[in-house]
Structure 1
Amino acid sequence: MTTAISDIVTLRARHPEAVAEAAARRRRRPLIGRSGRLMIVAADHPARGALAVGDHRMAMANRADLLERLCLALSRPGVDGVLATADVLEDLLLLGALEEKVVIGSMNRGGLAGAAFELDDRFTGHRPQDLTRLRFDAGKLLLRIGYEDPGSLNTLEAAARTVDAMAGRRLPVFVEPFLTRRVDGRLRNDLSAAAVTTSVAIASGLGGTSAYTWLKLPVTEDADEMARVCEASTLPAVLLGGEVAGDPRAQEAAYERWRKALRLPTVQGLVVGRSLLYPADGDVAAAVDTAVGLL
């Protein structure tokens, strides 16, 4: 990977148009493939300044290591694609790792982790026109709503206009909604069934049309509660994997929740990031294969 990184840097410095050229010749595929399911690996955390995995505060800071893990994950059977910001996706383009993969651009990264303005989550990543220009397949936006933080209103309005713009280009947009509040100065997402259901209702109504809107939802602790959450909308949904604790029993419990939720009629797949790229035992391939097996 060291040689590959050197080649990427050389291209970026001397031939920046190589990114557009790689995007233009990339072989694409439908969003939903033959399996009828989606398995997406997420790696858009660094652009929000969120580099930690478990107790390792700078785990995602090494770009060569991250790209190596991503290339391995994308090479595994059953993995459909990747969700990331422009810099990561363009590195993967130059490495040739996105052929016949679903490519989802991360759109709002302005709500930096731990910042006072975290809920005023500006769209500092991909714009709809960027996704069209690069021939990417979809976009993703994070919608955290704090009833006591006026910054959430700016994010809601920007998200609604982005839903409109994506629909105008016939591009799917994955909306990841949460109700959230500050505890000791830090944001905490409310994962209760009532809160997740409310966030689904709000996200489903964004914009002038929901024709191209998907939901990206966390899994509640209780499988029966998750069934009620998904009854709040007819929009197709993927499950947000989140971080899975290193304890094998906790891991198996999380996998079982995912397995049950994947049986629900609106749930179409999984989007998982750090749990697959940085598993406790270090075996990326095994972690990815386990997640694919749940589908």
Structure 2
Amino acid sequence: MSISIPDIVRVRTQHPEAIAEAAARRVRRPLMGDSGRLLIIAADHPARGALAVGDQKLAMANRVDLLERLTLALSRPGVDGVLATADILEDLLLLGALENRVVIGSMNRGGLAGATFELDDRFTGHRAQDIQRLNFDAGKLLLRIDYEDEGSLATMLSTARAIDEMAELRLPVFVEPFISRRIEGRVTNDLSAEAVTKSIAIASGLAGTSAYTWLKVPVTADPDEMAQVMETSTLPAVLLGGEVNGDQEGAYEKWRKALQLPTVQGLVVGRSLLYPADGDVEQAVDTAVGLF
């Protein structure tokens, strides 16, 4: 798809109501399609100032390039939808790229990467009412818990209330929990089996109901421990793709194995599919589809 920034800007300048109109007429589909599995492309990184891919610090800063990669990924058979912030989803709406796709709005982006307040992750993205108003299908939120950072408590409370609000509207919400800590000033997520188990237990018990709660979980540092970790909750879960650190094949194998677990319903992957090491987005996405 040829993407013209001037065309998008012209619509945003002269007809901003076109976004709501496109959302209202968008062809929707059930969250779980005929395959019974979900493959979601994630692109909500820029709103946290997380623009790097590998050693390219501003790889995700070129919006035309990002949109081209997203529209290509969304066009591939077996891809179910996209997770992103309002600006990106609205660009995709205007491009007509969200027809018959699952659309997940990213809710808390206030924990800017590298900020002193990173663990006080305010809900600066989609609200439950926005997701309903735009006819989107679900929401996603990030819950990082550092036992030594008081900001995590504020995030926990906001997370619980956001889950309540989504449940009142009967909208699914994907909760991405981590036990985190600062190492040399940088927030680092603990991927040990014990930490991931604890994060799942905490996230599963938040809010007044878990009826519409899904989990978005990483594969543990030792993939062989995932089966026991996923016994922590009966909530449906999707795997977080995360960084592959150059070992794309190794990542695919970890995902393939974890996808066999009974509570795991799919995969949410961002940069490793949109910006693969060899530059072939189509091949990377098709390989991920083949894991199911």
TM-score by length of 2: 0.99
Q: Which residue of 1 aligns with 2:136?
A: 136
Inter-partner Cα distance in structure 2 for 1:187 and 1:227: 27
2:211 is aligned with 1:197 = no
Aligned sequence identity (%): 78
Aligned: 1:286 with 2:283: yes
Aligned amino acid, residue 215 of structure 1: L
Alpha-carbon distance in structure 2 between the residues aligned to 1:112 and 1:243: 18
Q: CA deviation at 1:251?
A: 1.9
- Structure 1 185/3 Cα, relative in aligned 2: closer, same or farther at 3 Å? closer
Unpaired segments ≥5 residues, structure 2: none
Name the aligned partner's letter for residue 33 of structure 2. Answer: G
Work out the CA distance in 2 between the residues paired with 1:272 and 1:2: 24
Question: What secondary structure, in the 3-state scheme, does the structure 1 residue paired with 2:4 have?
Answer: helix
Q: Counterparts of 1:56 and 1:41 in 2: how far apart (Å)? A: 20
Structure 2 distance, partners of 1:53, 1:181, is 22
CA distance in 2, matches of 1:254, 1:91: 30
Provide structure 1 residue ranges, at least 5 long, that are not aligned to the other structure: none
4+ residue segments displaced more than 4 Å: none
Q: CA deviation at 1:73?
A: 0.2
Quote how far apart the aligned CAs of 1:222 are.
2.5
Q: Which moved more, 1:271-280 or 1:3-12?
A: 3-12
Q: Is 1:253 the counterpart of 2:284 in the alignment?
A: no
Tell me, what secondary structure is at the counterpart of 2:232? Answer: coil
Alpha-carbon contact 1:44-1:83 (below 8 Å) kept: yes
Report the equivalent of 2:224.
224
1:187 aligns with 2:184: no
* Partners of 2:260 and 2:169 in 1: CA distance: 31
1:276 has 2:277 as partner: no
Structure 2: which amino acid aligns with 1:81?
G
Residue identity opposite 1:68 in structure 2: E
CA distance in 1, matches of 2:54, 2:265: 28
| Structure 2 SS opposite 1:268 | strand
Compute the displacement of 1:254 (Å).
1.4
Q: Are the counterparts in 2 of residues 221 and 257 from structure 1 also a CA contact under 8 Å?
A: no
1:32 and 2:29 equivalent? no
Q: Deviations over 1:94-136 (max 9, x none)?
A: 0000000000000000000000000000000000000000000
Q: Partner of 1:164 in structure 2?
A: 164
* Compared CA separation, residues 276 and 208, structure 1 to 2 (3 A): same
The letter for the 2-side match of 1:153 is L
- Deviations 1:204-228 (Å, cap 9, x if unpaired)? 0010000000000000133331011
Q: How many residues align?
A: 292
- The alignment's C-alpha RMSD in Å is 0.8
Q: Distance in 2 between matches of 1:251 and 1:95?
A: 30
Separation in structure 2 between the aligned mates of residue 75 and residue 120 of structure 1, nearest angstrom: 36
Partners of 2:75 and 2:4 in 1: CA distance: 17
**Structure-1 residue corresponding to 2:151:** 151
**Separation (CA, whole Å) in 2 of partners of 1:191 and 1:288:** 25
TM-score (norm 1): 0.98
CA distance in 2, matches of 1:5, 1:216: 33
Distance 1:214 1:155 in 2: 18
On the 8 A contact 1:216/1:239 being kept in 2, the answer is yes
Query: Aligned partners of 2:251, 2:25: CA distance in 1, in Å?
Result: 39
Partner of 2:45: 45
CA pair 251-170 structure 1, distance change in 2 beyond 3 A = same
Q: 1:75 to 1:206 in 2, by over 3 A?
A: same
TM-superposed CA distance for 1:289, in Å, is: 0.4
Note closer, same or farther for the CA distance 1:17–1:216 as it changes in structure 2 (3 Å cut): same
Deviation of 1:7 (Å): 1.1
Q: In the alignment, is the contact (CA less than 8 A) between 2:119 and 2:145 conserved in 1?
A: yes
C-alpha distance in 2 between matches for 1:173 and 1:74: 21
Equivalent positions of 1:9-158 (< 5 A) are: 9-158=9-158
Asked if structure 2 preserves the Cα contact closer than 8 Å seen for 1:108 and 1:122, the reply is: yes
SS in structure 1 of the partner of residue 61 of structure 2: coil
Q: Tell me whether 1:266 sits opposite 2:271 in the alignment.
A: no
- Distance in 2 between residues matched to 1:212 and 1:56, nearest whole Å: 37
